[in-house]
A and B are shown apart, each in its own frame.
Chain A
Amino acid sequence: MAKEVTGTTWTVYDANTMTQAEIYGSVLCELGEKYPKIVGLSADLAKSTKIGVFGDKFPDRFFNVGIAEQNMFGIAAGLAKSGLLPFVSTMAAFTAMRGLEQVRTDICYQNLNVKIIATHGGVSFGAAGTTHHCTEDISIMRSIANMTVIVPADGIETACAVRAAVEWPGPVYIRIGRGFEPTYYQSEDYGFRIGKAQTISEGTDITLICCGITVLQAAEAAKILKEQDGLSVRVLNMHTIKPLDEEAIMKAVLETRRIITIEDHNVLGGLGSAVADVIAKSGKGCAFDKVGIPDCYCVVGYPEDLYCHYGMDCDNIAKKVREVMGRDFEEDESWEDEV
């Protein structure tokens, strides 16, 4: 039985005894009480994705469509058209790829109120291998008009994202891990807002822009760098990839002049590319690098080992920061000669 803790303004779920996915399942149950229009769908992954707890509580409002993702997203579109509020949950790979056309054409093209919780994002399903990894979904989803893309840092933030998605208009893609990832946040009352980056630590030397599991690692890296190198590292939790908090990015460009993005995703097309777009468009040059899966299919292993292998753990992030700090680039204070 999940342990509940009373928060200042709402009930929070104890991140120490519940996994990331269990937390969203519980939150969805709680929201189901308040919003009778919420319905749940899964494709034979009700247990793995934890949306099944919603199904246990509201059996009439839950549809397990079997192993048929295309049909599931189509049905979700129809349910939304009938006036209901579907929450759909299956693995990221089967959302962003197997069911993609239905997500794009049935749900997003018609701007329907369907909320998707895609689990097992990135390489979080480690040893399952490439068929069950999804290092392409952020790139895919952010290129779909009308779609909002959120990559919560942990279970607590997933709870915040799920709550926020209920009132947020149109389709929302919430990308989480397998559910066993360590948590960063302790409670929900830190002011989560869709489209607004969360400053994890202030800093003036360099900014780490992160999402998902890399937020905790970057926060740890910032501590290491402060203690060992005396560096002032800003860490931004860019939980919303779309709409992107361009203001926070530009503030980091102007104030720290060095940026590294870190994501459990292909380095092409995801958070790093989204941030790079903003920087390039501004004409304000800065030292920039992207950490993630280097455009390849990930090796097999436990997720923790994979994150280290691809440089997403705190020690490798610290190493990367030292490298980027040593990079020579035109430190032009005024930028007056640039466009």
Chain B
Amino acid sequence: MPITDSEIIKLKEQAKSIRHDIIDTTVWSGGAHIGGALSMVEIMTILYFKYLNIKPEEPHWEDRDRVVLSKGHGGVGYAPVLSARGYFPKDELKEFNHFMSSFGMHLDSLKVKGVDVSTGSLGHGLPMAVGLALGARLQNKSWKTYCILGDGECNEGSVWEAAMSAAHFKVTNLITFVDRNRMMIDGRTEDVMALEPFADKWKAFGFIVKEIDGHDFKALAETIDYAHSETKAPVLILCNTKKGRGVDFMEDQVKWHYGSIDSDLAAKAHESVNRG
């Protein structure tokens, strides 16, 4: 279904609201991976508010689409999306990172409604996503698996083991995104451990690669629609994004991979999101 202009307007509003929630949750948590949470907002928003076939009131519904947030440190970006989609009240996010909370910074599938797979250790998501997709195919199920990788985590060999197997087993019911924000903890990806030519690497491993602006809902929609129709090989959507997107003083700043913000800084962050 091609995306309409009014849908885009609604998604933009939703994304903005989620960015506010991420800022709030970061304050409540005492510290979180806010940079990479903000870079993936459009990807998560379009999945949860346009594409996913899910029933938030029935989180374990057998025929739901599955999501694997391989960049598990994006938990502070993921939990607000799940909350906004109706899995649990936003108030619960006030306990993020607190003693005995259901929400740690890497979300636990046994504790957080809507989380299909526990992630956090990098390079684990894509193998599990391949397993889910194979499982659906084997059981003649039509649900799809969506996997969101960070770019830094693509240093991990297990990502490429999984990539090789996704192409080998032709798991075309799997749609993989890379949040290409070009940063990792210690600096820029190309300085710490270069990934380029990144798209070519995925192509060489047997993926059909579509490179887009990961903050552009129209481009995301067109590419996801294409990926749904592709049956020859798995599709990798390489999303060029900005770390810290939407909060001016965090954008493209290595130091905002992980951080804590007080109420003053949070106010500035909210203002920046409103302006954007």
A residues neighboring B (CB under 8 Å): 39, 60-61, 63, 65-66, 68, 70-84, 101-102, 105-106, 109-111
A102 to B156, CA, bound (A): 13
Residues in A with CB closer than 8 Å to B136 are: 82
Asked whether A63 and B139 contact (CB < 8 A) given A70-B158, A79-B134, A105-B121, the answer is: no
On chain A, the residues within 8 Å of B113 by CB distance are none
Contact B161 A79 (CB under 8 A): no
Query: How many contacts A-B (CB < 8 Å)?
Result: 109
In the bound complex, residues from chain B placing their C-beta under 8 Å from that of A106 are 118, 124, 127-128
Contact of A81 among B117, B126, B162 (CB under 8 A): B117
A74 to B, closest residue via Cβ: B127
Cβ contacts under 8 Å, A80 to chain B? 131
User: Of A75, A82, A110, which one neighbours B118 at CB under 8 angstroms?
Assistant: A110
Q: Any chain A CB within 8 A of the CB of B23?
A: no
Q: Determine if B130 and A75 form an interchain contact, defined as CB atoms under 8 angstroms apart.
A: yes
Of B120, B123, B128, which one neighbours A75 at CB under 8 angstroms? B128
- Is the pair A81, B110 in contact by a Cβ cutoff of 8 Å? no
Q: How far is the CA of A294 from the CA of B178 in the complex (A)?
A: 48
**Taking A75-B127, A81-B128, A109-B118 as contacts, is the C-beta distance between A63 and B134 under 8 angstroms?**
yes
CB <8 Å contact, A39 and B127: no
Instruction: Check if A68 sits within 8 Å of B138, measured CB to CB.
Output: no
Q: Which of A39, A63, A76, A105 contacts B169 (CB 8 A)?
A: A63
A-B contacts, 21 listed (Cβ < 8 Å): A63-B134, A65-B161, A70-B127, A70-B161, A71-B162, A74-B128, A74-B130, A75-B134, A77-B117, A77-B128, A78-B132, A78-B133, A79-B134, A79-B138, A81-B116, A81-B117, A81-B135, A82-B138, A82-B139, A102-B124, A105-B124
Tell me the residues in window 127-169 of chain B with beta carbons closer than 8 Å to chain A beta carbons: 127-136, 138-139, 141, 145, 157-158, 161-162, 164-165, 168-169
Across the interface, do A78 and B118 meet the contact criterion of CB distance under 8 Å? no
By the criterion CB–CB under 8 Å, are B110 and A75 in contact? no
Q: Residues of B with Cβ closer than 8 Å to A? A: 62, 66, 68, 108-110, 116-118, 120-121, 123-124, 126-136, 138-139, 141, 145, 157-158, 161-162, 164-165, 168-169
Apart from A84-B139, A102-B158, what 10 extra A-B contacts exist at CB < 8 Å? A72-B127, A77-B127, A78-B127, A78-B134, A82-B136, A82-B138, A101-B121, A101-B124, A102-B124, A105-B124
Q: Is the CB of B139 within 8 A of A81?
A: no
Pick the contact of B164 from A61, A68, A76 — CB < 8 Å?
Answer: A68
Min distance, Cβ B190 to any Cβ of chain A, angstroms: 25
Nearest A-chain residue to B157, judged by Cβ: A70
B131 A78 Cβ-Cβ under 8 A: yes
B-chain residues with CB within 8 Å of residue A109 when the two chains form the complex: 108, 118
B139 and A71 contact, CB distance less than 8 A: no
Closest to B72 in A: A105
Cα A109 to Cα B121 in complex, Å, equals 12
**CA A76 – CA B124 in complex, angstroms?**
12
In the bound complex, how far is the Cα of B168 from the Cα of A271, in angstroms?
Answer: 41
A60 partner residues in chain B, CB cutoff 8 A: 138
Contacts of A61 in B (CB 8 A): 138
Question: Contacts of A79 on B, CB cut-off 8 Å?
Answer: 131-132, 134-135, 138
Chain A residues within an 8 Å CB radius of B169: 63
Does A110 lie within 8 Å of B109, measured CB to CB? Answer: yes
* Nearest A-chain residue to B131, judged by Cβ: A78
3 closest residue pairs by CB, A with B:
A78-B131, A74-B127, A82-B135
Residue of A nearest to B145 (CB): A78
Q: Does B157 lie within 8 Å of A81, measured CB to CB?
A: no
B134 engages A74 (CB within 8 Å): no
Alpha-carbon gap, A72 to B130, bound state (A) = 10
Bound state CA distance, A105 and B68, in angstroms? 14
User: In the complex, how many angstroms separate the beta carbon of A145 from the nearest chain B beta carbon?
Assistant: 12
Residue among A65, A78, A102, A110 making CB contact with B110, cutoff 8 Å: A110
- In the complex, what residues of A have CB within 8 A of residue B116's CB? 81
Which residues of B have CB within 8 Å of A74?
A: 124, 126-128, 130-131, 158, 162
Q: Which of A63, A74, A83, A105 has the most CB of B within 10 A?
A: A74
A111 to B116, CA, bound (A): 13
Q: Report A61 CB to chain B, min CB distance, Å.
A: 7
Distance in angstroms from A271 CB to nearest chain B CB is: 29
For B109, B121, B123, B138, the residue with the greatest tally of chain A CB atoms inside 10 Å of its CB is B138
Question: Which of B128, B157, B162, B165 has the most C-beta atoms of chain A within 10 angstroms of its own C-beta?
Answer: B128
A36 shortest CB reach to chain B, Å: 9
Q: Name the B residues within 8 Å of A82 (CB-CB).
A: 66, 131-132, 134-136, 138-139, 141
* Contact A83 B162, CB 8 Å, known A70-B157, A74-B127, A74-B130: no
**How far, in angstroms, from A239 to B233 measured CA to CA in the complex?**
46
- Within the assembled complex, what's the spacing in Å between the Cα atoms of A60 and B137? 10
Beta-carbon contact of B161 and A68 below 8 Å: yes
- Interchain CB contact (< 8 A) of B127 among A83, A84, A102, A111: A102
Q: Which residues of A contact B131 (CB under 8 A)?
A: 74-82
Q: Closest Cβ of chain B: how far from A115's Cβ, in Å?
A: 15
Q: Are A78 and B128 within 8 A (Cβ)?
A: yes
A66:B139 contact, CB within 8 angstroms = no
* A73 neighbours in B (Cβ, 8 Å): 127
Bound-state CA distance A71–B130 (Å) is 9
Q: Which of A65, A102, A110, A111 contacts B117 (CB 8 A)?
A: A110
Minimal beta-carbon separation of B145 from chain A (angstroms): 8
Greatest chain A CB density within 10 A among B117, B135, B168 is at B135
